Amino acid sequence: MRILVTGASGFIGRALCRALAARGHEVRAAVHRKAGDSSDGLAAFAEPVEVADIADEADWPAKLAGIDSVVHLAAIAHRTADAAAIRRVNVDGTARLARAAAGCVRRFVFLSSVKVHGEESGERAFVETDAPHPEDAYGRAKLEAERSLQEIAAGSGMELAVLRPPLVYGPGVRANFLRLLRWVDSGWPLPLGAVRNRRSLIYVGNLADAIVRAVEHPQAAGTTFLVSDAEDVSTPELIGRLARALGRTPRLLSVPPRWLLLAGGLSGRTGAIQRLTGNLAVDCSAIQSRLSWNPPFTMTQGLAETARWFRSARN
């Protein structure tokens, strides 16, 4: 199968392109030429093609020539980006690509986010049928993009599959997970020992495998799935596992979560504290049942690979 992957030079995109090539697919890797974006190494398992701007690209028909399926990963996720910029790329850019693909591509796989459901899952895990309740510009844009894609697919006959992952980790990870790695590796104690929460994560290798399944499986057409490692952890347990993977002794102080939230409010970091102390779990049994998908890597294996990358990147 010939597959176009957008966002191919990113953290998830590189893992996906390797996974697709390993399955014998021909991969065309759409790369946005901007500061810090690089197609280095992609040519070993994909055909890189340059995209000027995901929201304004006028040459999609040429880039889609001969393509059977599209996997759309490209997005803005930065919390510092303004809502207009997030919407322009994540909604308008997605719709522009989908309209170009609708006349020639059999299946369109879209990487959405658990943030479509919200920031807090409460006492039980989110399931796909839960009402959407996005709380930030990124989550709202992902939901709007999903709805635009559904309209385009319904009017064209193009098959649509949507995946909603939680936090993704693995070699090359950035942002909050990388900061947590650095803190755990530093040996400084973290005041999270009293937290009793439940969080879902997904290793990038597991996510890539789930996307491949969504591309290949006949029953993926017209579906939306939550995906994860199928193993939830509390924040203290995650820190303990990371510490062991890094060869460190976990150092946790038992500070009441309400004190942490108070401190977060005073310092303007309420959101960060809520993410460390709250529940955000997903039920991935639907994709396991319908597509016969199970994560090929355990969380222990994923954290070990992440730790190895982190160590090698520091040396």
- Domain edges within the chain: 2-167+202-229
pLDDT at residue 241, as a whole number: 96
The active-site residue out of 11, 108, 138, 203 is 138
* H-helix or E-strand spanning residue 72: strand 69-72
Strands 69-72 and 107-111: parallel
pLDDT in tens, 147-204: 999 999 998 989 999 999 999 999 999 888 999 999 999 988 989 898 899 999 999 9
What is the band of 36 on the pLDDT scale with cuts at 50, 70, 90?
very low
Q: Which CATH number applies to 2-167+202-229? A: 3.40.50.720
User: pLDDT over 70 for what percent of the chain?
Assistant: 95
- Distance separating alpha carbons of residues 209 and 101, to the nearest angstrom: 23
**What string of DSSP letters covers 234-289?**
-HHHHHHHHHHHTT----B----HHHHHHHHHHHT-HHHHHHHHS-B-B--HHHHH
DSSP character for 56? Answer: T
The one-letter code for the residue type at 88 is R
- Distance separating alpha carbons of residues 164 and 280, to the nearest angstrom: 13
Spatial strand order of the sheet with 223-226 comes to 47-51, 26-32, 2-6, 69-72, 107-111, 159-164, 223-226
DSSP character for 171? Answer: T
Active site residue 138: yes
pLDDT in tens, 256-308: 888 888 877 767 777 778 888 899 999 999 999 999 999 999 999 999 999 99
Q: Which two tokens stand for residue 41?
A: 């190494």
pLDDT at residue 42, as a whole number: 83
What is the band of 315 on the pLDDT scale with cuts at 50, 70, 90?
low
- Mean pLDDT (the chain, rounded): 91
Q: How many residues does the chain have?
A: 315
